[in-house]
Structure 1
Amino acid sequence: MYTDGMPMISVIIINWNGINHLEKCLSSVEAQTYKNYEIIFVDNNSKDNSIQYVKDNYPNIKIIKLDDNYGFCKANNIGIKSSNGQFIALLNNDTEVDKDWLLELVKPIKREKNIKFVASRMMLFKDRGKIDNIGVDYTISGSVIERGRFQKLSNEHIVEKETLIACAGAALYNKDFFDEIGWFDEDFFYSYEDIDLSLRAYLYGGKGAYAPRSIVYHKLSATRKNSPLNTYYSQRNNEFVWLLNTPTSLLLLLSPFRLIYFIGSMLYFTRQGEVKAFLKAKIDVLRNLNRIVIKRKKVQSNKVLSAREYLRLMKKGFFLNKIKKLFLKLS
Structure 2
Amino acid sequence: MTIGVVILNWNGLKLLKQFLPDVVSFSSEATVYVADNASTDNSIKYVELNFPGVKIIRNEVNGGYAKGYNDALASVKEDIFVLLNSDVQVTPHWLEPILATFKKYPVAGAVQPKLLDFKRPEYFEYAGAAGGYIDRFGYPYCRGRVFETIEKDEGQYDDEQEIFWGSGACLAIRREVFYEAGAFDEDYFAHQEEIDLCWRLNSLGYKVRYVSTSVVYHVGGATLNSMNPQKTFYNFRNSLYNLIKNLPSHQLIWVIFLRMILDGVAGIQFLFEGKANHFSAVLKAHINFYKRLPLLLRKRKNFPKKLNYFSKNSVVCTYFLKGEKKFSNF
Give the TM-score category using the shorter length. 0.7 to 0.9
For 1:108 and 1:12, the matched residues in 2 are separated by 19
In 1, the alpha carbon distance for the partners of 2:196 and 2:270 equals: 23
Alignment equivalent of 1:95, drawn from 88, 99, 102: 88
Q: Out of 8, 19, 25, which is 2:2 matched to? A: 8
Separation in 1, partners of 2:59, 2:257: 43
1:160-205 Cα offsets, whole Å, 9 max, x none, are 1111010011111011102221110011111110010011111111
Shift of 1:29: 1.1
Report the 3-state secondary structure (helix = DSSP H, G, I; strand = E; otherwise coil) of the residue aligned with 2:67.
helix
Does residue 229 (structure 1) correspond to residue 230 (structure 2)? The answer is yes
Aligned counterpart, 1:276:
280
Distance 1:10 1:157 in 2: 27
Q: What SS does structure 2 have at the residue aligned with 1:113?
A: coil
Matching residue's letter, 1:122: L
How many residue pairs get matched? 306
Worse-superposed segment, 198-207 or 61-70: 61-70
The answer on 1:251 being equivalent to 2:255 is: no
1:56 aligns with 2:74: no
Question: Aligned partners of 2:134, 2:46: CA distance in 1, in Å?
Answer: 39
- Classify the secondary structure of the residue corresponding to 2:38: coil
Q: Output the amino acid matched with 1:243.
A: I
Q: How does 1:1-331 map to 2 (within 5 A)?
A: 7-32=1-26, 35-132=28-125, 133-149=129-145, 150-225=150-225, 226-255=227-256, 257-270=258-271, 271=273, 272-274=275-277, 275-299=279-303, 302-303=304-305, 305=306, 307=307, 310-311=308-309, 313-314=310-311, 316-317=313-314
Q: Secondary structure at the match of 1:90?
A: strand
Deviation at 1:257, TM superposition (A): 4.1
Task: Give the whole-Å Cα distance in 1 for the aligned partners of 2:30 and 2:81.
Answer: 10
Shift of 1:220: 2.0
Q: How far is the alpha carbon of 1:84 from its aligned partner?
A: 2.1
Q: 1:315, 1:211 → 2: CA distance?
A: 24
> Mean Cα displacement is larger for which, 246-255 or 104-113?
246-255
1:326 paired residue number:
none
Equivalent position amino acid for 1:196 in 2: D
Shift of 1:71: 0.5
Counterpart contact for 1:140–1:257, Cα < 8 Å: no
SS of residue paired to 1:220 = coil
Q: Structure 2-normalised TM-score?
A: 0.87
Unaligned runs of 5+ in 2: 319-330
Q: Which runs of 4+ in 1 moved over 6 A?
A: none
Give the superposition deviation at 1:262. 1.4
Mapped partners of 1:315, 1:222: distance in 2: 33
Question: Residues 13, 248 of structure 1: CA spacing in aligned structure 2 closer, same or farther, 3 A cutoff?
Answer: same
- Aligned partners of 2:101, 2:187: CA distance in 1, in Å? 30
Cα distance between partner residues in 2 of 1:245 and 1:10? 29
Percentage identity across paired residues of the two chains:
30
Aligned to 1:324: none
Indicate if the aligned counterparts of 1:106 and 1:172 stay in contact, CA closer than 8 A: no
Q: Is the 8 A contact 2:243 2:256 kept in 1?
A: no
Paired residue type of 1:139: D
- CA RMSD across the alignment: 1.9
Paired residue type of 1:59: P
Local SS of the residue matching 1:241? helix
The answer on whether the counterparts of 1:121 and 1:214 sit within 8 Å (CA) in structure 2 is yes
Q: CA deviation at 1:315?
A: 5.4
Measure, in 1, the Cα distance between the counterparts of 2:256 and 2:237.
17
Indicate the SS of the match to 2:239. Answer: helix
Deviation at 1:316, TM superposition (A): 4.1
